[in-house]
Amino acid sequence: MAPAVKRLFLVALIVPLALAACGTAATPTPAETVTANSVAEIQAGDDYNDTDVMFLQMLAYHQKQGLEMTATAGSRSTNADLKTLAQAVQATEKDELSMMQAWLTQWGKATEVDTAASLHADHGGLPATGPAEIKALKTASAADFDTAFLNLFLAHQHNAIEMAHLETTQGQNKEAKAFAVRVRESRQAEVQQLLKLMNS
């Protein structure tokens, strides 16, 4: 495994390992942790296609929404396990966002996605979470907040898994496709943690 890919693999483990610590799984050992700047060091190279660009632009847009939601959970939730989940997502996705924006800039592409609906019809549209849903989350009552967050964020992370699948099947850039695999695996682990929290 190339050093850059190995670093990406280790960073992708942060979220599931951190989340496992709030459930029944064992707490990660020091050898399983990794510094936050490892992802940002990965270079994507110049071999890419339109799917690679679209994937990074859409996932960056998606993660900005996720960061907004998890920041709200960090300040409003009264559930310690949910707060731990939100903090783990924040740590991982901030670093991933910086990496994606750096790759897009390297390729001379916009770091913001064009939100025109017609441009996204052939791959299922833009992420379903929008300003209205995030506003509703922020204004939910204290008693309803955790349930509202879990439902919204569960759908949100399912959407990331769908985007990752598109990249792994139609992308061209080796690093972007490897990143998509890591996204799929880490978000699937998050979904399992979200379901446990919903049923606890």
User: Are 153 and 194 within 8 A, CB to CB?
Assistant: yes
Amino acid 155: pLDDT: 93
pLDDT confidence of 25, banded at 50, 70, 90?
A: very low
Take residue 36 and report the two structure tokens written for it.
Answer: 């936050």
Query: Cα–Cα distances in Å, from 123 out to 156, 165, 166, 177, 180?
Result: 16, 11, 8, 17, 16
CA 195 to chain centre: 17
Instruction: Give the separation between CA 130 and CA 181, rounded to whole angstroms.
Output: 25
More confident residue, 81 or 2: 81
Mean pLDDT of 154-168: 95
Mean pLDDT of 177-192: 96
Mean pLDDT of 148-162: 95
Look up tokens 């496992």; give the residue. 20
User: Are 85 and 22 within 8 A, CB to CB?
Assistant: yes
Take residue 177 and report the two structure tokens written for it.
Answer: 């496709």
Amino acid 151: pLDDT: 95
> Could you read off the pLDDT of 35-71 as tens digits, one per residue?
445 666 788 989 999 999 999 999 999 999 999 999 9
> Could you read off the pLDDT of 76-132 as tens digits, one per residue?
999 999 999 999 999 999 999 999 999 999 999 999 987 654 454 454 455 567 788
Amino acid 40: pLDDT: 61
